[in-house]
């Protein structure tokens, strides 16, 4: 009997806090996914890092052996200075001296990566004034960009998603959730073709050292606003029409980001995903729940008022009875 009561109480507790249990499972799943990614990246990349370190040590050792007049300390200072300059996008190589990081087109490309929060990191402000302006520019520009993208996506969604789904649903009488799923799938395939596959083929042809996988990797890292900066187009020394190329990449990034947001918003409007999201959200208070709460508060206040009045009346009667006649 006690076991059945305990089990029933546990079941009621779980059902009453179902949203909280779903949320805790979501948090646990996210932590496990982070750990899974760390394990895979570490196991895949660590051997390559170790191999690269060994190659660099061997090259450094050979260089010092071939140049006895140069001490290891002087070489270390030179390499440290070169690496610091490279972190700011400045190279000491002769074939890179013709490329400037802060001409107008490069600065326009940098501004687009800052406002879109892509931030490749291949170029960064050198001066204190540039760093201060970057902070102010980003504080104003990032919310401005979010407002701009939201307004653009909201208008595009009307013509690319909502009207076509409603038209097919009313014209042929098909199930609206089914039409929405098929439409979202086709839209995603079109977006992948136009903003991932085709640009990847173009980048692999224009960039000498990029294959198709590396070009596709750049497209994904850029349009998902991850922006690792290991691949940045237009940085080759012999790049033809570099200014025009940089402007084209800037336009591609802005348009691609808009298309990605349209596709994501289209999937978010699917009925199945809405139901899935509701599992992890806090349940909103229903109007009847608020009425019950108000009634409970009113009853509590009335009870307290009645008890206070009765207590005061009792004190008055006691005082009257104890007073001399």
Range of the domain at 63: 26-88
Are 113 and 73 in the same domain?
no
At residue 321, the pLDDT reads 44
Q: Give dist(CA 42, CA 288) in Å, integer.
A: 53
Domain assignment of residue 324, yes or no: no
State pLDDT tens for residues 83-120. 777 766 677 765 555 667 788 888 888 899 899 988 87
Among residues 88, 117, 132, which one ends one of the domains? 88
Count other Cβ atoms within 10 Å, centred on residue 220: 14
Residue 141 pLDDT grade (very low, low, confident, very high; cuts 50, 70, 90) = very high
Instruction: Give me the residue label for tokens 């980003």.
Output: 138
Q: Give dist(CA 194, CA 258) in Å, integer.
A: 13
State pLDDT tens for residues 148-183. 999 999 999 999 999 999 999 898 888 888 999 999
* Cα radius of gyration rounded to whole Å, the chain: 33
Domain assignment of residue 293, yes or no: no
Q: 3-class secondary structure for 290-306?
A: HHHHHHHHHHHHHHHHH
Are 117 and 78 in the same domain?
no
> What global pTM score does this model have?
0.73
Domain assignment of residue 311, yes or no: no
State pLDDT tens for residues 200-209. 999 999 888 8
**Section 43-67 average pLDDT:** 88
Are 135 and 260 in the same domain?
yes
Are 45 and 167 in the same domain?
no
Are 103 and 69 in the same domain?
no
The CATH code of the domain that includes 266 is 1.10.287.70
Are 238 and 150 in the same domain?
yes
Are 56 and 153 in the same domain?
no
Number of domains in the chain: 2
């Amino acid at each position: 009997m006690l076991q059945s009561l305990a089990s029933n109480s546990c079941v009621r507790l779980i059902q009453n806090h179902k949203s909280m249990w779903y949320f805790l499972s979501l948090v646990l799943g996210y932590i496990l996914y982070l750990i899974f990614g760390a394990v895979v990246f570490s196991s895949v990349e660590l051997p390559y890092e170790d191999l690269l370190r060994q190659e660099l040590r061997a090259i450094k050792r050979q260089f010092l052996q071939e140049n006895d007049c140069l001490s290891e300390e002087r070489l270390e200072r030179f390499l440290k200075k070169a690496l610091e300059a490279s972190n700011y996008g400045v190279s000491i190589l002769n074939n890179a001296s013709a490329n400037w990081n802060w001409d107008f087109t490069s600065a326009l490309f940098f501004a687009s990566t800052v406002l879109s929060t892509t931030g490749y990191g291949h170029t960064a402000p050198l001066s204190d004034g540039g760093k201060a302006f970057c902070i102010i520019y980003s504080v104003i520009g990032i919310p401005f960009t979010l407002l701009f993208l939201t307004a653009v996506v909201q208008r595009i969604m009307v013509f690319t998603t909502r009207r076509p789904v409603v038209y097919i649903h009313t014209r042929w009488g098909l199930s609206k959730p089914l039409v929405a799923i098929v439409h979202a799938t086709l839209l995603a395939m079109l977006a992948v073709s136009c903003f991932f596959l085709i640009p990847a083929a173009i980048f692999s042809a224009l960039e000498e050292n990029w294959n198709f996988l590396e070009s596709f990797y750049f497209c994904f890292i850029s349009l998902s606003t991850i922006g690792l900066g290991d691949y940045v187009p237009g940085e080759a020394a012999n790049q033809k029409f570099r200014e025009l190329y940089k402007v084209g990449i800037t336009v591609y990034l802005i348009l691609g980001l808009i298309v990605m947001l349209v596709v994501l918003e289209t999937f978010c409007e699917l009925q199945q995903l809405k139901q899935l999201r509701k599992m992890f959200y806090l349940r909103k208070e229903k109007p009847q729940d608020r009425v019950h709460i108000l009634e409970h508060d009113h009853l509590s206040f009335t009870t307290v008022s009645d008890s206070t009045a009765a207590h005061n009346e009792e004190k008055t009667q006691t005082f009257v009875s104890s007073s001399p006649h």
